[in-house]
Amino acid sequence: MYAAALGAERDLYALDLAGPVAFAFGNEGAGLSPALLRESRPFSIPMAGAVESLNVAAAAAVCLFERLRQVRRAEVPS
């Protein structure tokens, strides 16, 4: 399970999302619980400029699109 978390060392585009995956997203104010973060693999979504954060729906859409992109890329024969 991957958990979206501001300031995480890993970013979304470095993750291998081609296999089974689950995402966890917290609310925009409090984020995820410390217990859930300990049991998951935290990641951040790279953002340009002075953007502080994305709302949870936008963050989920970006993550789901990246997973689909990776799955489709893995299905294309070399």
Q: Tens of pLDDT along 2-35?
A: 999 988 999 999 999 999 999 999 987 788 999 9
Cβ neighbours of residue 42 closer than 8 Å, sequence gap 6 or more: 2, 3, 4, 5, 8, 9, 10
Query: Model-level pTM?
Result: 0.85
Mean pLDDT computed over every residue of the chain = 90
Q: Which of 57, 66, 65 is nearest to 28 (CA)?
A: 57
Place of tokens 């966890």: 24
**Tokens linked to 14:** 């470095």
What is 2-75's CATH topology?
Alpha/beta knot (3.40.1280)
Domain ranges of the chain: 2-75
Residue 71 dihedral angles phi and psi, to the nearest 5°: -60, -45
Residue 27 has what pLDDT? 82
